[in-house]
Amino acid sequence: MPRILPILPLFLFILVSNSFAEDADISQLFKGKNIRGTMVISSLDGATTYIHNNERAATRMLPASTFKIPNTLIALEEGVIGDEKQVLKWDGIDKGVAAWNKDQTLESAFRTSCIWFYQELARRVGKERYGEWLAKLQYGNGLAGPEMSNFWLEGDLRISAEEQIAFLKR
C-alpha cells in the first residue's frame, strides 16, 4: 500500500477532472514505480473507463482486503454485528500488526483491515449464508470455502478487478 500512496493524488485528479488519460499514461505510472498490477477506473454510468493491464483486470484473483466491503455489508445484513460502534474483544494474542492488537469496532477494523475481526464475523455468518450472499451479490465466483476464517485470503473465492467495479456500482 505505501508504494501506491505517492500516486494516489494523481488518480484522484484523473477521476475528478475533465482531462483525458489514456491507458498508456496509466501504464507509465506503473512502469515508473516498477509496480506489476492493474487498475480499473470507471464512471458510475460506465461511459468512461480507464484500464491498465486489460488481461490482469479480467483475471480472477483472491479479493483479500477488498473483501471487507461485502464482508461488512453481509455481517450487518445478517445481524452478526449491530453497528459500526459495537466492540469485539481482542483475545490478547499478538496479531502481528500493532493496530490490530486491541478491541475493535467495525469502524476501527475497517480502517485498519483487521483480519481477526473479519474472521470472527465470517465465523458468525457461516458458510451457507455466505454462499447465498455471494450469489445474490454476484460476487466473483461466489465460492465461500473451504475454511470460513480465511476464504477471501487463501480460499476458493476469486474475483477480477472488472467484477469488483461492477459489484461496487451495484
Active centre residues (catalytic): 65
Nine-digit cell string for 68: 471487507
Terminal CA-CA length for the chain? 26
- Sign of the CA dihedral running 141, 145, 149, 154: negative
d(CA 164, CA 170): 10
The set of residues, in sequence order, having a beta carbon less than 8 Å from that of 9 and lying 6+ positions away, is none
Nine-digit cell string for 132: 447465498
**β 87-88/39-42 pair status:** unpaired
